[in-house]
Structure 1
Amino acid sequence: MRRITLWLMSTVAAIVLLFSYRTSTNGGAVAAAATATAPGTATPTPGPSSHPASGATPSPSASRSGSSSGTKTYTGSVASTRWGDVQVTITVTNGKITDVQVPVYPNGNGRDQEINAYALPILRQETLQAQGASIDAVSGATVTSDGYLESLQAALDAAHLA
């Protein structure tokens, strides 16, 4: 009888410990991603919308706008993913990618916001370093990374960059 009681109490204690274990300590990862950008450059802040502005119809091809000073902005097509749409906008100056923005990304719930607050700055930094779409997906944000790469490639194609 004592062994059964001891075994039962041990099992209950183990279950309580398992359920109280916190699996996500993403606060440090977000801070690390924010400090990973070069000093003096702006950290991208993802836009507030997960869908294009009302009335706007996403085109399958990339669009471009810009000034005559050699700086042009190219917007990639909207990539539909399992968790929401992703769209990338690049700024090109003299044939070099100088800025990357993500105006449309999944942010419908807290988990989407947490993942993308971590993943989008990493994807942006990788794009600026690689000067193209030859970048790795972010672990834990594979779906967003795939949509990002699809839209980025459309913007690069519009800019006639490799």
Structure 2
Amino acid sequence: MNSLSRRPLRRVLLSTVATAGGVVLLLSLKPHTTAEAAGATTRSAAPAPAPSASATSPAAGSGGSSGASGGTAGTRTVQGDTVQTRYGPVQLKVTLKAGRITAVSALQVPEDSPRDQEITTFAVPQLTQEAIAAQSAKIDTVSGATYTSEGYIQSLQSALDKAGG
């Protein structure tokens, strides 16, 4: 009878240990970082200049020609290639000063439907912030805006390639 009375206690002890172990495992998992948190971490590690990044409406007559235009002492503006995505073209203009990305402007973005406009309004500022923080085209895509993100990254990379960076 003594062994029967220990079994419930043994079960309680085992379930308590198992629960505590599960809680410890859950707490040991690293939380997923958002783009904003990752950008803030990157910026604090290597401070970037205060950029004036903006996303603009498509420019009339920007049909994929590209090139660099001179600016003030060491400032260059380079247009990336026009990248055709499933929802429309994406083309960027990148401003570099002393080899660093200081601004990225969208010359063309998908805007044919209200949903395209919503996605563009949401995704392009995030992508711009990440590009300036990363100082490269090695940035994450924005969830829900995969095609626009991929077009953005390709156009950004082409501009950086043309600028020699």
TM-score (norm 1): 0.67
| Identical amino acids, percent of aligned pairs | 42
1:83 aligns with 2:87: yes
1:111-150 counterparts in 2 under 5 A?
Answer: 111-150=115-154
Q: 1:96 to 1:43 in 2, by over 3 A?
A: closer
Give the match's secondary structure for 2:153: helix
Aligned residues, how many? 120
Letter in 2 for 1:149: I
1:57 and 1:125 mapped to 2: Cα distance? Answer: 25
Name the larger-Rg structure: 2
Are 1:53 and 2:60 matched, yes or no?
Answer: yes
1:137 aligns to what SS in structure 2?
coil
Instruction: Please report the RMSD computed on the Cα atoms of aligned residues, expressed in angstroms.
Output: 2.2
Deviations 1:93-127 (A, max 9, x none): 01111111111100111101111111000000000
**Which whole-Å deviations, capped at 9, do the CAs of 1:119-157 have from their partners, x for residues lacking one?**
000000000000001100000000000100110111000
- CA, structure 1 residues 79+135, in 2 after alignment: closer, same or farther (shift >3 Å)? same
Distance verdict in 2 for CA 1:130–1:88, change over 3 Å: same
Structure in which a larger fraction of residues adopt helix: 2
| DSSP-derived class of the 2:69 partner | strand
Unaligned runs of 5+ residues in structure 2 are 1-35, 44-49
Within 5 Å, give how 1:1-150 maps onto structure 2: 42=52, 44=54, 46-49=55-58, 53-54=60-61, 56-59=62-65, 62-150=66-154
SS of residue paired to 1:112: helix
CA distance in 1, matches of 2:63, 2:127: 25
Taking structure 1 as reference, are residues 42 and 141 closer, same or farther at Cα in structure 2, changes over 3 Å only? same
Runs (5+) with no aligned partner, structure 1: 1-32
Per mean C-alpha deviation after superposition, the further-off stretch among 65-74 and 117-126 is 65-74
* Alignment check: 8 A CA contact 2:57 2:106 kept: no
Cα distance per residue 1:53-108 (max 9 Å; x no partner): 24x5423xx41102251101010010001100000111000111111111110011
SS, match of residue 117 in structure 2 = helix
1:155 corresponds in structure 2 to: 159
Structure 2: how far apart are the matches of 1:47 and 1:109? 16
